[in-house]
Structure 1
């Protein structure tokens, strides 16, 4: 595959450094640099932004982000085998790439980043949902990032953008849509990866809202939604039992029938219910 810059094609980089994907690390490498460039462009104008990338692997998306004009890329990579290849990318781009080696769930990259910050990643499958949940649930809002452009298994992507009364609608839908505008911007077939995963992938772009869409206490809303969808087959008067002594009255006040189930309730009603329980 042709290169988008003066560095070798990714397949050559992988062979040179023996960077064969490890299943234990959730690795699936994208070798098509035209495709990684398309993903990078979904994040918007990067010229005046720092970019945080998790799981750069051999650096395909990293190179695309730098080629598309990112002010700086800070990449967190757990696999030390990838560090020499990423060092070559950093040298080629005059040090605009900083690599932090370690577990993304344990590293705080903020001291290396300057605002505005965009997060763009082909997330390792084994930590993707956990990282997204953390980024959507900071102690204070707005968060440190302006937008998230993230690749997931298509099933996870569909959960992020799902609407009520659909099978995919759930806690992740509420969490994302309460504080962001979220949309699926690309789908990527298994054949585009090495090794090919068993499922189609999709890229989701989330643009943060400066204030949440509806008033609600973040912790209580999360608790209400977790209980509601934790037993999604049950009526809400049963799944939310114990949250308030007069639960059914509060459900009715929020415009929710006690006999309804979680997947029938929209974001606004969940927020209203959580505020009624808090009061």
Structure 2
């Protein structure tokens, strides 16, 4: 394998097969919707930018669809934070398969209380006005917590704490399409709201693309914006 090639995991059951094997059903109360199309998960991870030898935190990996795409980009370290321990067997399989190539850590817990500074304590801290640190947050966020979570992170950005103690850490996240449109809404746009102002005060935001609801299992009632 060349130095610039992506890592390809050894042959594994598909995410769809693993969901069937472990009888993993999405829990509506947790706003769970699985992404199983590798073309879409690869596109999401490609949007996050250069990951080779960088550090990544994936929020809510579920059965591991996006996780596989992240591993294939060969980050130095990947921490997945998952609240639902039913997904531990599938995540452990990915961890074992990538051993020796990517340092994968599995945290069973709530991203709302996750300590980024403990998990990524080996990253040198960058001046805020320097190039961003080699740390990326990627996640297919549950609809039920997405707005609350981004508001919490905006506060941490303003204080330069948590994942932003290292500098201008990037985020690649999914939201309900309507929420994504509000986040990026320009002045005088009908979607412009308090969330637009908060996000655009502290971040450079961009709606990269829309994922149709039919790409998720189970299919949500709305499309999703990245």
Q: TM-score range by the shorter chain?
A: 0.7 to 0.9
Gaps of 5+ in 2: 1-7, 124-133
Q: Distance in 2 between matches of 1:110 and 1:82?
A: 25
Deviation of the 1:75 alpha carbon = 1.0
2:119 corresponds to 1:112: yes
TM superposition outliers: structure 1 runs of 4+ over 6 Å: none
Question: Could you tell me which of 85, 98, 117 is aligned with 1:93?
Answer: 98
Question: Could you tell me which of 72, 76, 83 is aligned with 1:78?
Answer: 83
The structure number with the bigger radius of gyration is: 1
Q: Distance in 2 between matches of 1:177 and 1:104?
A: 23
Q: Distance in 2 between matches of 1:23 and 1:93?
A: 31
Q: Aligned residues, how many?
A: 200
- Map residues 1-279 of structure 1 onto 2, 5 A cutoff: 5=9, 6-94=11-99, 96-113=103-120, 114-115=122-123, 116-138=134-156, 140-141=159-160, 143-144=164-165, 146-203=169-226
Between 1 and 2, higher relative CO (CA 8 Å, sep ≥ 6) is seen in 2
Gaps of 5+ in 1: 204-279
Deviations 1:198-232 (A, max 9, x none): 001010xxxxxxxxxxxxxxxxxxxxxxxxxxxxx
Q: Distance in 2 between matches of 1:131 and 1:110?
A: 17
Deviation of the 1:34 alpha carbon = 1.6
> Does structure 2 retain, via aligned residues, the 8 Å contact 1:37–1:68?
no
Name the Cα RMSD after superposition: 1.6
TM-score of the aligned structures, taking structure 1 as reference length: 0.68
Deviation of the 1:48 alpha carbon = 3.0
More displaced stretch, 190-199 vs 138-147: 138-147
Q: Distance in 2 between matches of 1:20 and 1:70?
A: 29
> Does structure 2 retain, via aligned residues, the 8 Å contact 1:66–1:72?
no
Q: Distance in 1 between matches of 2:117 and 2:61?
A: 18
Deviations 1:46-105 (A, max 9, x none): 013211111100000011011112221111111110011100101111162211111221
Deviation of the 1:109 alpha carbon = 3.3
SS in 2 for 1:74: strand
Q: Distance in 1 between matches of 2:222 and 2:89?
A: 30
SS in 2 for 1:159: helix
